Structure 1
Amino acid sequence: MTASDTLANRSARGSGPSPGLILAFVCMGQFMVFTDVSIVNLALPSIQSGLGMSDVSLNYIVTAYATVLGGFLLLGGRLADTYGRRRLIQIGFAVFALASLVSGLAENGTMLIASRAVQGFGAALITPAALAILTNTFSEGPERNRALGVWGSLSGIASIAGVILGGVLADGPGWEWIFWINVPIGLGAALLAPRVLPESRAAERGRFDTPGAVTLTSGLLLLIFTLGEATTVGWATVRTLGSLAGVVVLLAAFLAIESRSASPIMPLRIFRLKTMRVANISAVLVFGTFGALFFFASLFMQQAFGYSPLKAGFAYVPLAVSVAVGAGVASGLVTRIAARTVVMTGLGLTIAGLLLMWRAPAGGGYAADLLAPFILLGLGCGMVFVTLQIAAFVGVSDKEAGVGAGLINTSQEAGGALGLAVVATIAYSNIGSELAGTGGDPDKITAVHEAANHDAFLAAAALGTLALLIVATLMPRRKDPSEAVRSEDASETVKSPEGQAR
């Protein structure tokens, strides 16, 4: 009997938590994790003033969290499958809360950056375990699609809410509260989890794949860190090229280990599921597109439109509402039409919004130049996030739900880092010399920033177009993706030359 069958029977007798309560709990954890990805952005000037940090070191407040989160997600998923998903959620919430407390108490930049990295580790334990519990609670089909629709919409909404909340708290009680607000939530969730969540794990625990976990996590951490650093040290430097070579060595070692391991941390057979495979490839490009969008849209509003951080944060509200609408539309459509069609529609809206941002002039009006693209981007974001989450779990067994959850979230985080690094390199390729040539003229400085941000939006649109082409050509056209899974499974059973099935 699966976890979802057990839960359904318990709920029918009134002796266990309802699926709705479980969904609300895991979504609360997801919201907290993704809010903290962006909550520091508008508070950075206040943090810099309070701790006396340099401009360069401010970058690590953001990247330390995202790098560790992305690097440990697959490890967190396998730990959840092996030792219990509810147990990992409890540990993750406790770690996250304590690290948040230390972040708010930080007396210098080094202490804050280190505690943000520990926050990212706690988040990496929460996210895949919570998503695995969700997929085990709701059976594959419309029920799970609706639940994943709620979950997926939170990724976009929480990222935008984090920007808004960070501006409000930084201008109000102080930047410390962007971290301290997590403490009662995290500790309360850790204590409440046994009353709300059922425990589940893989039926066969086996041996833990320590070499695979070490090589994969090290490779992902090095990759994400290198991509972030390349925007400042350059792509053609010995440091960047050497780091990328190290990434190749580590990931090649990981694949070699997994092909021989009796209990691999990421079974390579999972990539035989075409819909899941395409969903993860698409997620890398899609989250690269949106990661670049949110970063440069925040800068564009402040540098080219002259918005304050708080005003820029609230300017995202229509985008956030549109994300919720797009997610709701997608979760309904994906039960009636092919996921491919929904993702393509969402990407089309996203590309259109980015092209409108590319043409928005400096000093323009919000209603005339930003509102329409923000609405298009929000609708596209919601539709794509939800549908890719659903597609990534088609055909994934309960036994490997944690691995599937870790994989799709790793694709999202790695994609966000990769996309931002590539787009920033394009946008800022000559900005130093261009700013030096302005002679300090404010109008010329604004023009340079306008051009850089326009280049960023166009590059992000190109990433979105590449994602659209991949989805159009590779994602199954069937209305029911499970049919594709069954077809793929059937095609695996072929005869060898000796006449034996393999």
Structure 2
Amino acid sequence: MAVIDQIQTTAPAVQADTAALGRRDRLTLLVLLTAGFTLAVDFSILNVALPVIGADVGLPLHALQWIATAFALCAAGFTLLFGRIADLFGRRRLFLGGMALLGISSLAGGLATTPGVLLTARALQGLATAAVTPAALSLLTTSFGEGPRRDKALGLNGALTAAGFTTGAILGGVVTDLLSWRWAFFINVVVAVVVLPIALRVLPESRPAVRPSLDLSGAVTVTLGLLALVYGLTTAGQTSWGDPRVVGSLAAAVALLAAFWAIERRHRQPLVPVAVLRRPTVAWGNVAGLLAFATETSLVFLLTLYLQDVLGYSPLAAGLAFSVLGAGTVAGGLLGPRIIGRVGAKTGIVAALLVQAAATIPLVFLGSEPGWIGLLLPVTFLGGVANLVAIVGFMVTATSGLPDAEQGLATGLTTMSQQVGITLGIPVMSAVVAGSLGSRTGSGAMLGAVTTAIAVNAALCLVAAVLIGVFLRTRTRRDA
């Protein structure tokens, strides 16, 4: 219930907009946003507690990364497949099944006493995320038609999703310090128990009257390709880009995704129609989303290194410092629909990415004195606002102009972009930090490496703004 209370207190603008809706519609929105927020928290809630978890269940230090990797592999690898399954077999059905799986797997994870059980539970949580996220988003977009109401619903969804990553880092530290890391799992059980009965009553079902066949060959190649891609990216962040496993995985990903493209061009009922991928709004909207998520989540990683390894913050204190960024993301999610409605999606995304770059550049000049936190907090707030405006623009752009029958596909693509972006950014920035450090050690060397990577991050924001400004073509809509 705490999550539901937080959503109710952080959404005044949307509540004003939904006042004209019936009770069932308001409950529908609340259920879907609660699920999205909870799944976002799951990405980061265990990061602070990894050493404690390893000691409790007997997982050696070198294998701790699999607690995160097992989740990321399944969450990103299966999301496109589940997005299409939602279109074909029912979004409500997939949402309910995914939430039930989340509750069961979280209970198993919280009770785990061996590495095998823990990692299996974490992988099943990833599968639940891959099922629930596109199903919830497609239910959101089909429940609210194109226009200001959908934009505002997507804005709040984006704000809560981004805030969820920050909340996870804070909540993980608090729960581990005051209770036990096991409550990081048990929280999901409570949410599932609360959400499922309400969802059964209020969520509408939607699926085609005539069910087409599932493109099995396309489903297999794209899922294996995404699994190889995510495995290669996460391994690169843990070892190096020259690791044979990284090279082999990324090569396999390229080959499998190329095969997927060839299959989709010839299949009578493709998993992802090529015509959809060729739409500039879908293709470049998802590029914008991938880069927006990659830059901001990797900046959080870099600033975590700065706060802990340079300024000497504890993990909990570092997490609390990011609450300012979390507030910025909520503000951006609430402002985003208004900005997009006034200036259009393309202009809104480009302007937001430029502001994000402008907010990131001052961080290049961070020093080792404690007073630099006075610069970090306001500019990360501004960057969080800008990043969420870009994310709202990406969601509106990538899901607009498509029939309801393809909303599961569209939201599956946006979810995939989000999760691949989160997975991609950290290894890239890790490689920049490692390359800058070389054989040097100490807080001074770490400071130089982190600020170099921050400069690269700011440059990526600028590159993203240029790409979207040049290639994205959208309909201008000023009806907010």
Normalised TM-score (structure 2): 0.91
**Corresponding letter in the other structure for 1:144:** R
The 5 Å alignment of 1:123-202 reads 123-202=129-208
Q: State the shift of 1:366 in Å.
A: 5.6
Question: 1:188/1:372 Cα in 2 relative to 1: closer, same or farther (>3 Å)?
Answer: closer
Q: 2 CA distance for matches of 1:280 and 1:271?
A: 10
Local SS of the residue matching 1:319: helix
Q: Report the identity percentage.
A: 36
Check conservation: 2:44, 2:168, Cα contact below 8 A: yes
Match of 1:101 among 99, 107, 110: 107
**Corresponding letter in the other structure for 2:334:** G
Which residue does 1:304 correspond to in 2? 310
Check conservation: 1:338, 1:479, Cα contact below 8 A: yes
Q: 1 CA distance for matches of 2:177 and 2:249?
A: 39
Q: State the shift of 1:432 in Å.
A: 5.8
User: Which deviates more, 29-38 or 60-69?
Assistant: 60-69
Match of 1:232 among 234, 238, 241: 238
Match of 2:456 among 438, 447, 459: 459
The 5 Å alignment of 1:21-420 reads 21-365=27-371, 367-420=373-426
Question: 1:209/1:478 Cα in 2 relative to 1: closer, same or farther (>3 Å)?
Answer: closer
1:468 lines up with 2:465 in the alignment: yes
Check conservation: 2:351, 2:465, Cα contact below 8 A: no
1:448 lines up with 2:451 in the alignment: no
Question: 1:48/1:455 Cα in 2 relative to 1: closer, same or farther (>3 Å)?
Answer: farther
Q: 1 CA distance for matches of 2:472 and 2:29?
A: 28
Check conservation: 1:202, 1:398, Cα contact below 8 A: no
Local SS of the residue matching 1:433: coil
Local SS of the residue matching 1:41: coil
Q: State the shift of 1:138 in Å.
A: 0.7
**Corresponding letter in the other structure for 1:468:** A
Q: State the shift of 1:17 in Å.
A: 5.6
User: Which deviates more, 239-248 or 138-147?
Assistant: 239-248
Listed one character per residue, the Cα deviations across residues 127-159 of structure 1 (whole Å, up to 9, x for unaligned) are 001111111111111121111111111121111
Local SS of the residue matching 1:208: coil
Check conservation: 1:91, 1:190, Cα contact below 8 A: no
Question: 1:49/1:369 Cα in 2 relative to 1: closer, same or farther (>3 Å)?
Answer: farther
Q: State the shift of 1:481 in Å.
A: 9.3
User: Which deviates more, 344-353 or 63-72?
Assistant: 344-353
Local SS of the residue matching 1:313: helix
**Corresponding letter in the other structure for 1:402:** G
Question: 1:219/1:162 Cα in 2 relative to 1: closer, same or farther (>3 Å)?
Answer: same
Q: 2 CA distance for matches of 1:34 and 1:332?
A: 24
Q: State the shift of 1:330 in Å.
A: 1.3
Normalised TM-score (structure 1): 0.88
**Corresponding letter in the other structure for 2:471:** L
Which residue does 1:494 correspond to in 2? none
Q: 2 CA distance for matches of 1:272 and 1:117?
A: 32
Q: What is the number of equivalent residue pairs in this alignment?
A: 462
Local SS of the residue matching 1:258: helix
Listed one character per residue, the Cα deviations across residues 2-51 of structure 1 (whole Å, up to 9, x for unaligned) are xxxxxxxxx9xx9x863222111111110011110111122223223323
Which residue does 1:438 correspond to in 2? none
Which residue does 1:495 correspond to in 2? none
**Corresponding letter in the other structure for 2:229:** L
Q: State the shift of 1:367 in Å.
A: 4.7
Check conservation: 2:366, 2:372, Cα contact below 8 A: no
Local SS of the residue matching 2:137: helix
User: Which deviates more, 76-85 or 270-279?
Assistant: 270-279
Q: State the shift of 1:177 in Å.
A: 0.5
Local SS of the residue matching 1:96: helix
**Corresponding letter in the other structure for 1:345:** A
**Corresponding letter in the other structure for 1:470:** L
Q: 2 CA distance for matches of 1:289 and 1:36?
A: 20
Check conservation: 1:47, 1:175, Cα contact below 8 A: yes
User: Which deviates more, 91-100 or 57-66?
Assistant: 57-66
**Corresponding letter in the other structure for 2:462:** T
- 5+ residue gaps, structure 1, are 1-10, 436-444, 483-502
Q: 2 CA distance for matches of 1:47 and 1:171?
A: 12
Check conservation: 1:17, 1:196, Cα contact below 8 A: no
Question: 1:425/1:317 Cα in 2 relative to 1: closer, same or farther (>3 Å)?
Answer: same
Check conservation: 2:436, 2:452, Cα contact below 8 A: no
- 5+ residue gaps, structure 2, are 1-17
Local SS of the residue matching 2:370: coil
Check conservation: 2:360, 2:454, Cα contact below 8 A: yes
Larger Rg: 1
Q: 2 CA distance for matches of 1:19 and 1:284?
A: 30
Q: 2 CA distance for matches of 1:357 and 1:71?
A: 33
Local SS of the residue matching 1:410: helix
**Corresponding letter in the other structure for 2:137:** L
Which residue does 2:14 correspond to in 1? none
User: Which deviates more, 318-327 or 398-407?
Assistant: 318-327
Q: State the shift of 1:52 in Å.
A: 4.2
Q: 2 CA distance for matches of 1:103 and 1:289?
A: 30
The 5 Å alignment of 1:6-25 reads 18-25=24-31
Q: 2 CA distance for matches of 1:290 and 1:80?
A: 29
**Corresponding letter in the other structure for 2:461:** G
User: Which deviates more, 172-181 or 316-325?
Assistant: 316-325
* Aligned residues: CA RMSD: 2.2
Q: 1 CA distance for matches of 2:262 and 2:379?
A: 45
Q: State the shift of 1:452 in Å.
A: 2.3
Question: 1:477/1:410 Cα in 2 relative to 1: closer, same or farther (>3 Å)?
Answer: closer
Q: State the shift of 1:331 in Å.
A: 0.8
Match of 1:479 among 471, 476, 479: 476
Local SS of the residue matching 1:18: helix
Local SS of the residue matching 1:153: helix
Local SS of the residue matching 2:329: helix
